[in-house]
Amino acid sequence: MNLAVFASGNGSNFSAIVKAIKEGKVRVRSLILVCDNPGAFVLKRAQKAGVRVILASRGDFPSRKDFEAAIIQRLKIYKIDLIVLAGFMRMLSPAFVERYRNRILNIHPSLLPAFKGAHAIKDAFEDKVPFTGVTVHVVDEKMDHGPVILQERLKIKSRDSFVSLEKRIHALEHKLYPRAIELFYNSKVGSGKR
């Protein structure tokens, strides 16, 4: 499988995927990073890991269509089979989703459909729910929506602070995402293989 990780910021999930590939836990032929933010820390991670980067800033293109067309052109060059969103802070257009239907995954730090949006960990913490978790799902046209591949629950402990909860959620993400990618694309039960 030729894999593209899309990320806009820190990139800890990107690093977890790179590590899992190195350890043979995710079978990937080639890996690229697609990033829309020239200041993102994930770019440093990619450089260190020797992963090829496609940097496309939305501001450099007159429209979202042109921005996505430039990305698609590169995805075609690298014959990308699967796209995984890992903190990519931009909604993909319906046309993009249609083009890569069932070949885009996302990770979200809550038990979807609970706590959609950019502040899921904080929202769950402030709501004082007993459990939250992590979801990996197939991307469709709606935000944080689509068939779930893997979901794992995490108990919010009474001694958890927001910071400790965030740390535990991220650790769970790093374990779950590589597993979901392998399951979805490479396993016989996955529907991602084409």
* Interface contacts to ligand GRF, rule CB under 6 A: 7, 9-13, 86-87, 107-109, 173
Q: How far is the CB of 112 from ligand GRF (least distance, A)?
A: 11
Min separation Cβ 194 and ligand GRF, Å: 25
Active site annotation includes 174: no
Least distance between ligand GRF and beta carbon 61 (Å): 23
Nearer to ligand GRF, 9 or 190 (CB): 9
- Give the residue closest to ligand GRF by C-beta: 87
Nearer to ligand GRF, 7 or 46 (CB): 7
Q: Are 110 and 132 in contact (CB under 8 A)?
A: yes
Given 108, 119, 145, 170, the catalytic residue = 108
Report the residue number, 73 or 161, with the smaller CB distance to ligand GRF: 161
Considering the complex, state which of residue 86 and residue 149 has its C-beta at the smaller distance from ligand GRF.
86
Report the 3 state secondary structure along the chain. Answer: CEEEEEECCCCHHHHHHHHHHHCCCCCCCEEEEEECCCCCCHHHHHHHHCCEEEECCHHHCCCHHHHHHHHHHHHHHCCCCEEEECCCCCCCCHHHHHHCCCCEEEEECCCCCCCCCCCHHHHHHHHCCCEEEEEEEECCCCCCCCCEEEEEEEECCCCCCHHHHHHHHHHHHHHHHHHHHHHHHHCCCCCCCC
What's the closest the beta carbon of residue 179 comes to ligand GRF, in angstroms? 14
Residues with active-site annotation: 108
